Structure 1
Amino acid sequence: MSVLLVKNFIGGVFVEPVACLDSFEPATGKLFASIPDSSADSVDCAVAAARSAFEHWSSTPIAKRADLLLKLADAIEENADELAELESRDQGKPLWLAKAVDIPRAVTNFRLFARAVPHQTGKSKVQEEFSAVNWTEREAVGVCGLISPWNLPLYLLTFKMAPALMAGNTIVCKPSEMTSVTAFKLCHLVSRVGFPPGVVNVVFGTGPGVGERLVSHPDVPVVSFTGSTVTGKRIAMAAAPFMKKLSLEMGGKNAGIIFDDVDLETSGEGSLISTLLRSCFINQGEVCLCTSRLYVQETIFDAFLRKFVPAVRELKVGPNEVPGVFCGALVSKEHKAKVLHYVGVAKNEGGVLHCGHGVDELVLPEGYENGYYVQPTVISGLDETSSCITEEIFGPVVTVSKFTDEADAISKANAVEYGLCASVWSKNVSTCMRMSRALKVGTVWVNCWMVRCLDMPFGGVKASGRGREGIEESMEFYTESKTICLKY
């Protein structure tokens, strides 16, 4: 396949790039796409186009806006196979995962907000003593800057686009420069279904080249970001002088807490071991919600490892399109090096490597030897102050540690700077409820993982973020409330 040339989409027009970045296919390490290395000038053009389109789009009847979102959802669905293949090749994830999760979720995002928003209501109050009636209306804010990550490219970009557009805002999107291809293809679909020019704009490039200008632009009053905590903090500092509305969904160092009354013997879909395999290693562990710390009650610690480690070893690692592959390649050569750095740290600190990198041999098909693969790795025996336990690795590496009782588990789980999610495993409902309330995180799953209800707010505490995303929460974020008082 020839190298794909990605172009910016500004004011309804595809713009030839002045300079480009190379983007490599994770499975092979070969050049895959050429991405615009855009500058602040491109951001300024996109913001100007979005600002020009705002008045017309925000006054467009909500039913018409919903109709365009539904048409876009249909177009994504009609092109699902092509989008899934591109997402898989661009990001490294298994093709089956892109087909089963990423692309269907992009479809769901547009349909969900298109159908839910028209039914939302505001507040109202009659004041008989003043012969007055009060009510609230929500209004679009303006141009929204949407910055999305490389791990779930189309999935998370569309989760920002849908509510922003339904609320009547125009948007300037900055996808990750490492995974830009499906966003580029989405621009073609946006154009095809008839969005007015300037409503949707996409500028490709780096954080310094594009992101910094988008965040600090005086005509962008709203910024929604998903990515690392380091970048999120920079965004908060850059946006502060402008008093922008910020939504920051950042890193996680999520704990799975396993009590000694769990069932270690049952296997198959929904069982403890099966769910933990998914929660630790799905998408190569490159999901902010993945479990990267397991705390197992000391009375079953050895028994747990005897069940868990062989199951991890059975996970197939390899090229994204090969049937049966569970873990594909990591997103980049640099990210692979970062993940392996932490494995090296664990080894140097005396950690026990039970399986994975440095323990098990990885045999790859011919032509894939230069891909960015790391086997699912299980480590125990580390001190709780180890950087492998306190810092976000964002790869297929999980630490396993002992705990004695509830207080010990809570203390260890809450000891990191992050607070995105956690899971608790026990047959005792009282134990689960006490733990759920004591954990300093935004979401707690009890005897499950990643059972997502999009009606419920999603987000983290501490260094994991600011704000929440969900149907009501997103619509509130992308609008401003106005109170009107009418004397009758």
Structure 2
Amino acid sequence: MDFYGHVIDGEEAASLSGATFSSTDPHTRRPWAEAALGDGADADRAVSAARRAFDHGHWPRMGTAERGRILHRLADLIEEHAEDIALADTQDMGKPITQSQGNDVPRTAANFRFFADHARLSTSESYPMDTGHHAYTRFDPAGVVAAIAPWNFPMMLESWKVAPALAWGNTVVLKPAEDTPVSATLMARLALEAGMPPGVFNVLHGYGPDSAGQALTEHPAVDRITFTGESGTGRVIATAGARHLTPVSLELGGKGANIVFADADLAGAVEWSIRAVFTNSGQVCLAGSRLYVQREVYDEFLTRFAAAADALVVGDPRDPAVQIGPLASAEHHAKVAGYVDTIAEQGGTLRTGGLGDGWTIRPTVITGMDHTARHAREEIFGPVVVVIPFATEAEAIELANDTPYGLNAMLFTENLHRAHRVAAVLRAGTVWVNCFFVRDLRAPFGGVGDSGIGREGGTFSREFFTEPKAVVMQIDPAADRDRPRSSRGRSAR
């Protein structure tokens, strides 16, 4: 097996303890790669390297154009090595190769390009004052960023955190998920090849609790923590950040509602709804796994939807014809299988799908289940959807908002008034109308409730990864002298 080490201070290295762990290919269910297993000492080593690079290095003091050239070069290298990177994510977590290579790698490169350009082209506010002064805003890098990424879109979601942090002049310690270590090391190797200075982008492998992840989030020299993952883990990380008053950005779990109204284009609604719940074998926090269909079209929609689900090809994720690969790990497969095994117990009917070979779950469509059932309320994170009929627009909104989550929602309608009306009242960070997973990187991304804290994307990422600073300059001493002494220094409030 090939070895993938930490990348710290510009060098790939083993753990100080010499410990390693294996990454298992979910299709073959055999180890295929070995990675360094970090602990608190390795976390301290990575944070110290990032701290030195920020406090004494050139990266935070570069112009945005100079940083941008390096980030664009990194994007070029990612595209040049697309096949190897895509295969790494497919072997690490079972994602179909067509999704790894056709979606994840291009979007990874696009993230680096976008944030490199966004930092260079962003403007700041100026505030002319009638007191002989002028105020303006600076956006200085925050410092050392701890970025903790999930296993379902490994390199793509790592780049969503790393790219804006680097573009705004921060240094980064990335901890990838232990299930998917390989592409993070590959990305760090390419960053060094692109000309990124030592210590600017570091990769730390390891587990979470009582391991590298916990040590990283609790480190007093970390200035920002950005995390994508499960809601319970997000609470733990928020607590760790609170100890040092470290700002956190949390993109957590979801249980997205997908509403299909009777006036929808049913062919389009079926196609998008299939993507919304079965892409990446349902291992998507944005999955539309609560599917509400208006009664007038419920039977017709369900017939088409179940047939389309049943037609999806399940198998070896390296095969370009395969659309559904295995789940990412034995532990996760056991969790999702537990939901499939209890469908009847929860009052539901299996319309199509069920357990597959190995760690696969066939695209599973459940009907007859009340919206209060576990399957309709808990984040399953697999290719499982509950289809529930509704009568009125008001009922659909009530059902959609009856959840502790609030990451995203979808609705399908050809009525423009309804589209705007319903989108406005859905409790979600993103609402897609007649589509799914279409992104504009300038727009805010994040959730409410158990789906997280904060927003990232465009200027929202700038606000998180910088320390906005007000600078007030005296430009007319005479005007300042002529002001009544009693008014000097008073707040504008």
TM range (shorter): over 0.9
Which whole-Å CA distance do the structure 2 matches of 1:49 and 1:443 have between them? 37
2:126 alignment partner in structure 1: 124
Larger Rg: 2
What is the deviation of 1:347? 2.2
Q: Secondary structure at the match of 2:172?
A: strand
Equivalent in 332, 337, 340 of residue 340 of structure 1: 337
1:460 alignment partner in structure 2: 447
1:365 alignment partner in structure 2: none
Which whole-Å CA distance do the structure 2 matches of 1:485 and 1:296 have between them? 56
1:324 alignment partner in structure 2: 321
Alignment check: 8 A CA contact 1:420 1:460 kept: yes
Q: What code does the residue aligned with 2:295 have?
A: E
- Is the counterpart of residue 5 in structure 1 residue 6 in structure 2? no
What is the deviation of 1:158? 0.7
Equivalent in 400, 405, 411 of residue 398 of structure 2: 411
Equivalent in 389, 394, 401 of residue 381 of structure 2: 394
Which whole-Å CA distance do the structure 2 matches of 1:233 and 1:61 have between them? 36
Which whole-Å CA distance do the structure 1 matches of 2:38 and 2:344 have between them? 41
What is the deviation of 1:13? 1.3
Which whole-Å CA distance do the structure 1 matches of 2:286 and 2:346 have between them? 26
Alignment check: 8 A CA contact 1:352 1:380 kept: yes
- Is the counterpart of residue 295 in structure 1 residue 292 in structure 2? yes
Equivalent in 44, 51, 61 of residue 59 of structure 1: 61
1:145 alignment partner in structure 2: 146
Q: Secondary structure at the match of 2:151?
A: coil
- Is the counterpart of residue 175 in structure 1 residue 160 in structure 2? no
Q: Write out the 4+ residue segments of structure 1 that deviate beyond 2 Å after TM superposition.
A: none
Aligned positions of 1:338-487 closer than 5 A: 338-357=335-354, 362=356, 371-487=358-474
- Is the counterpart of residue 236 in structure 1 residue 242 in structure 2? no
Alignment check: 8 A CA contact 1:177 1:204 kept: yes
Which whole-Å CA distance do the structure 2 matches of 1:126 and 1:452 have between them? 36
Alignment check: 8 A CA contact 1:298 1:404 kept: yes
Question: Is 173-182 or 58-67 further displaced after alignment?
Answer: 58-67
Which whole-Å CA distance do the structure 2 matches of 1:234 and 1:206 have between them? 14
- Is the counterpart of residue 286 in structure 1 residue 283 in structure 2? yes
Alignment check: 8 A CA contact 1:148 1:157 kept: yes
Which whole-Å CA distance do the structure 2 matches of 1:188 and 1:351 have between them? 49
Question: Is there any run of 5+ residues in structure 1 with no aligned partner, and where?
Answer: 363-368
1:159 alignment partner in structure 2: 160
> What is the aligned length?
470
- Is the counterpart of residue 220 in structure 1 residue 222 in structure 2? yes
What is the deviation of 1:61? 2.1
What is the deviation of 1:204? 0.2
1:100 alignment partner in structure 2: 102
Q: Secondary structure at the match of 2:313?
A: coil
Which whole-Å CA distance do the structure 2 matches of 1:307 and 1:61 have between them? 54
Q: What code does the residue aligned with 1:344 have?
A: D
RMSD of aligned residue pairs (Cα, Å): 1.2
Alignment check: 8 A CA contact 1:28 1:372 kept: no
Q: Percent identity?
A: 42
Which whole-Å CA distance do the structure 2 matches of 1:260 and 1:190 have between them? 50
Deviations 1:302-334 (A, max 9, x none): 222111111110000010122321111110011
Report the TM-score when normalising by structure 2: 0.93
2:42 alignment partner in structure 1: 42
Question: Is 213-222 or 59-68 further displaced after alignment?
Answer: 59-68
Alignment check: 8 A CA contact 1:6 1:184 kept: yes
Q: Secondary structure at the match of 2:238?
A: helix
